[in-house]
Amino acid sequence: MHSVSTTDASKPALRKRLLTMRSGLTADDIEAAGASLACRALELPELARADTVAAYVSVGREPATRALRDALRARGVRVLLPVLLPDNDLDWGADEGPDGLVRAGRGLLEPGGPRLGPDAVTQADAVLLPGLAVDRRGMRLGRGGGSYDRVLARLARAGADPALVVLLYDGELLDAVPEEPHDRPVHAAVTPSGAHRFV
């Protein structure tokens, strides 16, 4: 893991640094990392035994999720995908594969089928979270929109305890990331080189 001090690395500064690192990735880099991520993630017992997984459609230079989502569906897993609401909360719909996705606002691809409601995520056995970094305690640095903070709060209110898994590139596991009182640790992070458990 890399050494990053929480005292001299604010969340915005650290996000900027990590996004700059990702900006150097090519489409081939992203696709190759996505294939490796899928293999590593599928080795996690939490995903191997899951009946329902809340995932997301990667955008831009995020680690690619398509190979993993396809593999989960091929195993008979019910995959849920987020639908961004105007207030940045998330609704959910079933992943019916690439042909079932529609282009939405902010350049996002979302499921085109029926909406299942924001509470649908509470039925997931595992939740895949986007992120920019995770530290050795399992604290996740997100993009700053707050959508997944709401998801995590909703899970806590419902008493749901799915496996929380962040998909990252190698080099995005850090010694520490800045945290706030509402931040919750994740259970694992998966990178192209392997899975890393925290709690």
Tens-digit pLDDT string for the chain (199 aa): 443 444 345 888 999 999 999 999 999 999 999 999 999 999 999 999 999 999 999 999 999 999 999 999 999 999 999 999 999 999 999 999 989 999 987 778 999 999 999 999 999 999 999 999 999 999 999 888 889 999 999 999 999 999 999 999 999 999 999 988 878 899 999 999 999 999 6
Strands (E), the chain: 52-54, 78-84, 90-94, 101-103, 109-111, 126-129, 133-135, 140-141, 163-167, 173-174, 188-191, 194-197
Q: Please indicate if the annotation marks 107 as binding a ligand.
A: no
Q: Please indicate if the annotation marks 9 as binding a ligand.
A: no
Q: Please indicate if the annotation marks 76 as binding a ligand.
A: no
Q: Please indicate if the annotation marks 57 as binding a ligand.
A: yes
Q: Please indicate if the annotation marks 171 as binding a ligand.
A: no
Q: Please indicate if the annotation marks 14 as binding a ligand.
A: yes
Write the CB contacts of 16 (distance below 8 Å, at least 6 apart in sequence): none
Q: Please indicate if the annotation marks 93 as binding a ligand.
A: no
The pLDDT, as a whole number, for residue 9 is 59
* 11-77+118-197, CATH topology level: Rossmann fold (3.40.50)
Give domain limits for the chain.
Answer: 11-77+118-197
Q: Please indicate if the annotation marks 147 as binding a ligand.
A: yes
Q: List b or e across 1-32, with b for residues whose CB sees 16 or more CB atoms inside 10 angstroms.
A: eeebebeebebeebbeebeeebeebeeeebee
Residue 115 CB neighbour total at 10 angstroms? 14
The pLDDT, as a whole number, for residue 45 is 92
pTM attached to this predicted model: 0.91
